[in-house]
């Protein structure tokens, strides 16, 4: 088997996951366009099952398993949307899911994963604790590990969002996504470069955790930083599957300020009346903090998700 | 001219306002349907221009004016969505708008009206202050007064939302809207009874301001109460145009608790990832507080608007 997914794998993923996911709408706003001096096309993955694009990759990875592989279930480590997506997709397939979560994970996220029927195994909060706990789970259960981003099928699944976007709006100058582990950005790059080679693919990242920007610049994977960002889903780093794809196809990683993320999130809530999470606001912030990349152009943006704790909003 | 609008007036309104308003989507959620044990079809007027259905009635009233009538502009009293809608529609037509607002109106609403280019005239906070100020404006300017709900063209315009809903989903058992001044409910009733006579039209109202429920029960218009409700747009009362239509066509006014409104609002935000204002949550609350009206049925709901002060959410 090839190590790196290609566009054919995205097409295969589309057929595989179509029964289980939503084809999300592409939204526009003339107010936003006026403010940005650009034509923005927002792919609303906040309306996706489990509230985020992660349902795509998780469904693709889980439904790609053979009966034999699937027999002992799946496992992953995540305290975010990937955990919910794995629990959701495993439930659809009717196989067990074990999610390794840090003991300090937000209760609302723990409850969401449990609601989808997954089992939670607790780990300490360091990456080493997490790895060791996953290793123990794998040895004890024989489950298949599905990485949140650096996975052949996860990347191919995430690419289906951009494929749909380009079907709806073929003539885009730029497609932007947030970048954390790089699964969405890599999958997006596969679709965009196959369907519209002239379209630039740009990642957007908080400047406090700019490892992807530095990785792209220097041609090697930098480890994650420990710095804070409100876009907590993006505090991860590229992997040996996501990085080569990004390095080949992505034009640029634009970094944005924390204040810019909060302002962009609030702007989308107020003007478009939809709920997006901080990570989804990162490429919107890039539109306003990097006008040179967008002015006068047609920009597709993947709004990655809408899972927010309504009790703790960044402006209250 | 007839005093009361009929369905033909709604059809006429559709042609008149179509260039200026959005055809809003009808949203569904399997989670919500499961919780409600009903099939819910939510007409998302929170995505309407100015963030509320009020754009429909205001456009219809303002574009129905003759050149001569329109010459001196329009005026209204409102501190809510109608004020923005009048300012918006007058701007489209290129005529002046004067909005009479109480001195204690929320600054964010004042700014929104000003942003659309309307002039604000301040009044005291009692209904009498307001009436007197409007009278003065009318005498000084010769502007046309457009009531927020009890107006022939406003009611016909509001009816276009239900017309679109029934075009998209023809076989509904019930259509529900919030009721304050009754413009939306009356317009909805005109469309529903013409297009699908068997479909029941139900209004939903906060129990603290249940004047519409009592008016329907007793066959006469009760004055507004002064009681508090979080659905502040509904603290008004029926008029001599809206009431006869409602009395003839509306099956029931269901009242809901304040806690139910907040819970319904939060539910829609969390599960559907869209922002609705408290008034829009009132019929959703009715779904859960009056299961006898909805269980096992197909329910259309007009989500009236999405204008919320994000700095003051009811659960924070």
Element (H, E) at B199: none
Domain ranges of chain A: 7-52+151-303, 55-145
Contacts with A46 from chain B: Cβ below 8 Å: 273
Query: Do the Cβ atoms of A274 and B270 come within 8 Å?
Result: no
Of the candidates A51, A313, A316, the beta carbon closest to that of B273 is on: A51
Q: Check if B311 contacts A (Cβ < 8 Å).
A: yes
Q: Per 3-state DSSP, what percentage of chain B is helix, strand, and coil (rounded to 5)?
A: 50, 15, 35
Instruction: State the pLDDT confidence band at A258, using cuts at 50, 70 and 90.
Output: very high
Instruction: State the pLDDT confidence band at A43, using cuts at 50, 70 and 90.
Output: very high
- Nearest Cα of chain A lies from the Cα of B137 at a distance, in angstroms, of 31
Query: Do the Cβ atoms of B316 and A315 come within 8 Å?
Result: no
Catalytic positions of A, written as ranges = 54, 304
- Nearest Cα of chain A lies from the Cα of B176 at a distance, in angstroms, of 21
* B117-140 residue pLDDT tens: 999 999 988 888 989 999 999 999
Contacts with B51 from chain A: Cβ below 8 Å: 273
ipTM beyond cut 0.85: yes
Instruction: Please count the other Cβ atoms lying within 10 Å of the Cβ belonging to residue A10.
Output: 26
Query: Do the Cβ atoms of A310 and B306 come within 8 Å?
Result: no
Contacts with B270 from chain A: Cβ below 8 Å: 310
pLDDT at B20 over 90: yes
Q: Check if A104 contacts B (Cβ < 8 Å).
A: no
Q: What is the largest CA-CA distance in chain B?
A: 56
Q: Check if A263 contacts B (Cβ < 8 Å).
A: no
pLDDT at B316 over 80: no
Which of A43, A273, A310, A315 to probe by mutation at the B interface, max B CB count within 10 Å? Answer: A273
pLDDT of residue B108: 81
Query: Do the Cβ atoms of B47 and A275 come within 8 Å?
Result: no
Locate all alpha helices (DSSP H) within B23-151, ordered by sequence. 30-36, 54-63, 67-70, 81-93, 107-115, 127-141
Instruction: State the pLDDT confidence band at B88, using cuts at 50, 70 and 90.
Output: very high
A215 touches A186 (CB < 8 A):
no
pLDDT of residue B191: 98
Mean pLDDT of chain A: 96
In this prediction, residues A121-134 reach a mean pLDDT of 90
In this prediction, residues B23-47 reach a mean pLDDT of 97
Cα–Cα distance, B22 to B31 (Å, whole number): 27
Query: Do the Cβ atoms of B310 and A266 come within 8 Å?
Result: yes
pLDDT of residue B128: 87
Instruction: State the pLDDT confidence band at A128, using cuts at 50, 70 and 90.
Output: confident
Cα–Cα distance, B136 to B260 (Å, whole number): 41
**How many helices, marked H, and strands, marked E, lie in chain A?**
14, 10
Of A233, A228, A277, the closest CA to residue A257 belongs to: A228
Q: Check if A311 contacts B (Cβ < 8 Å).
A: yes
Of B271, B276, B218, the closest CA to residue B247 belongs to: B218
Mean pLDDT of chain B: 96
Contacts with B32 from chain A: Cβ below 8 Å: none
Element (H, E) at B204: strand B200-206
In this prediction, residues B188-192 reach a mean pLDDT of 98
**How many helices, marked H, and strands, marked E, lie in chain B?**
14, 10
Query: Do the Cβ atoms of A310 and B270 come within 8 Å?
Result: yes
Instruction: State the pLDDT confidence band at B109, using cuts at 50, 70 and 90.
Output: confident
Cα–Cα distance, B44 to A192 (Å, whole number): 31
Instruction: State the pLDDT confidence band at B284, using cuts at 50, 70 and 90.
Output: very high
Classify residue A103 as exposed, middle or buried by CB count within 10 Å of its CB (0-12, 13-18, 19+): exposed
Q: Check if A66 contacts B (Cβ < 8 Å).
A: no
Q: Check if B66 contacts A (Cβ < 8 Å).
A: no
Contacts with A51 from chain B: Cβ below 8 Å: 273
String of DSSP letters for A22-44: ----EE--HHHHHHHTSEEEEEE
Query: Do the Cβ atoms of A46 and B310 come within 8 Å?
Result: no
Tracing tokens 């963030």 back to the chain, one arrives at B51
String of DSSP letters for A130-188: HHHHHHHHHHHH-PEE--SSS-HHHHHHHHHHHHHHHHHS---SEEEEE-SSSHHHHHH
| Sequence-separated (6 or more) residues with CB below 8 Å from residue A226 | none
Strands B74-77 and B200-206: unpaired
Residue B203's DSSP bridge partners are B177, B253
B145 touches B74 (CB < 8 A):
yes
pLDDT of residue A106: 81
Contacts with B272 from chain A: Cβ below 8 Å: 47
Cα–Cα distance, A294 to A36 (Å, whole number): 8
* 3-class SS of residue B200: strand
- Of A49-53, A235-239, B107-111, the poorest mean pLDDT is in B107-111
- Nearest Cα of chain B lies from the Cα of A283 at a distance, in angstroms, of 19
Of B77, B78, B87, the closest CA to residue B135 belongs to: B77
Cα–Cα distance, A174 to A297 (Å, whole number): 8
Q: What is the dihedral of CA A253, A257, A262, A268, to 10 degrees?
A: -40
Give B61-64's long-range contacts (Cβ < 8 A, gap of 24+): B61/B89, B61/B146, B61/B151, B61/B153, B61/B154, B61/B157, B62/B86, B62/B89, B62/B90, B62/B92, B62/B93, B62/B95, B62/B146, B63/B16, B63/B17, B63/B20, B63/B89, B63/B93, B64/B16, B64/B153
φ/ψ (deg, to 5) at B175: -120, 130
pLDDT of residue B125: 82
Tracing tokens 């080679």 back to the chain, one arrives at A197
Of B35, B77, B79, B82, the closest CA to residue B57 belongs to: B82
Q: Which fold has domain A55-145?
A: Rossmann fold (3.40.50)
Contacts with B306 from chain A: Cβ below 8 Å: 273
Write down the pTM of the prediction. Answer: 0.95
Catalytic positions of B, written as ranges = 54, 304
Percent of chain B with pLDDT over 90: 89
What are the CA-CA distances from residue A133 to residues A74, A76, A109, A224 (Å)? 14, 10, 19, 20
Instruction: State the pLDDT confidence band at B160, using cuts at 50, 70 and 90.
Output: very high
Q: What is the DSSP letter of B150?
A: S
Instruction: State the pLDDT confidence band at A126, using cuts at 50, 70 and 90.
Output: confident
- Nearest Cα of chain B lies from the Cα of A6 at a distance, in angstroms, of 32
Angle between helices A152-168 and A183-195 (to 10 degrees): 50
Query: Do the Cβ atoms of B311 and A306 come within 8 Å?
Result: no
pLDDT of residue B106: 81
CATH of A7-52+151-303, one of 1.10.1370.40, 1.10.340.30, 3.40.50.1100, 3.30.465.10: 3.40.50.1100
* Domain pair B7-52+151-303 / B55-145, same fold: yes
């Amino acid at each position: 088997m090839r190590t790196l997914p290609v566009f054919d794998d995205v097409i295969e993923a589309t057929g595989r996951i179509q029964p289980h996911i939503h084809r999300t709408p592409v939204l526009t706003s003339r107010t936003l366009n006026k403010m940005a001096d650009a034509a923005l096309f927002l792919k609303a993955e906040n309306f996706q099952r489990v509230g985020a694009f992660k349902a795509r990759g998780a469904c693709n990875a889980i439904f790609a398993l053979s009966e034999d592989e699937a027999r002992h279930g799946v496992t992953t480590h995540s305290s975010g949307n990937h955990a919910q997506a794995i629990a959701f997709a495993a439930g659809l397939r009717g196989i067990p899911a074990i999610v390794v979560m840090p003991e300090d994970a937000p209760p609302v996220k723990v409850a969401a994963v449990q609601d989808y029927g997954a089992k939670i195994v607790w780990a300490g909060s360091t990456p080493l604790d997490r790895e060791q706990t996953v290793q123990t789970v794998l040895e004890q259960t024989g489950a298949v590990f599905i990485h949140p981003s650096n996975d052949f099928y996860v990347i191919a699944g995430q690419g289906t969002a951009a494929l749909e976007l380009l079907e709806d709006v073929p003539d885009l100058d730029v497609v932007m996504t947030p970048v954390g582990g790089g699964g969405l950005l890599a999958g997006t790059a596969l679709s965009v470069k196959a369907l519209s080679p002239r379209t630039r693919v740009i990642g957007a990242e908080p400047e406090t955790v700019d490892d992807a920007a530095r990785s792209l610049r220097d041609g090697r994977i930098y480890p994650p930083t420990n710095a804070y960002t409100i876009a907590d889903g993006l505090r991860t780093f590229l992997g040996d599957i996501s990085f080569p794809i990004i390095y080949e196809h992505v034009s640029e990683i634009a970094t944005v300020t924390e204040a810019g993320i909060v302002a962009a999130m609030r702007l989308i809530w107020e003007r478009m009346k939809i709920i997006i999470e901080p990570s989804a606001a990162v490429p919107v912030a890039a539109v306003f903090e990097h006008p040179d990349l967008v002015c006068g152009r047609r920009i597709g943006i993947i709004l990655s998700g809408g899972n927010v704790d309504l009790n703790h909003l960044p402006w209250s």
